[in-house]
Amino acid sequence: MRALVIGGARSGKSRIAEELALTVADKESLPLVYLATSQGFDEEMKERIAHHQKNRSLRFQTVEEPLEVARWLEEQQQHSVVLIECLSLLLTNWMMQGLDVEDKMGDLKCVLQETTKSWIVVSNEVGMGIVPGDPLSRLYRDHLGRMHQYIAQMADHVYLTIAGIPLDIKASQSSFHL
């Protein structure tokens, strides 16, 4: 199982991704890993992280990995269901550290393509609004949009969440041909 769960802020994507991960883990009798990319640099973000932790099933083993998600996935030998939360914060971390985003995206793309683990990637959809007014925000939006495309191509399912309701947009793609 490979899935991208994408949506706007407070759209329900985390809850849906967690429910999906639990379902897959039960069906395949696999352990669950919650690969957290967030960092609590301020009080508001610390509160968000605490809220997620409080509401997360205790069945998840939580691993905090704000930068090296590809390397972590590559090094793990145990087959499991890995929920990566979230891609948009991972990109922020890479950019704020001055890392080569293209290289990091390439590494992640390769590992997700090659791994035998079941994975679910959560991300924020930021490309549906107005064009950002500054170059850094435009670059972020463009990088994230490309990452979404790469991951969506590899995924079995792509869920767009709106108001807590998931829509599998990849399933509806099967009838569309260019």
d(CA 3, CA 9): 19
Exposure string over 160-171, b if 16+ CB within 10 A, otherwise e: bbeeeebeeebe
How many CB atoms lie under 10 A from the CB of residue 58? 7
Of the candidates 51, 52, 143, 177, the residue annotated as catalytic is 52
Which tokens is 21 given?
A: 């991960």
Annotated catalytic, 143?
A: no
Which tokens is 38 given?
A: 């967030």
Instruction: Please name which of 143, 120, 147 lies closest in space to residue 21, comparing C-alpha atoms.
Output: 120
Which tokens is 149 given?
A: 């495309």
Catalytic residue numbers read: 52
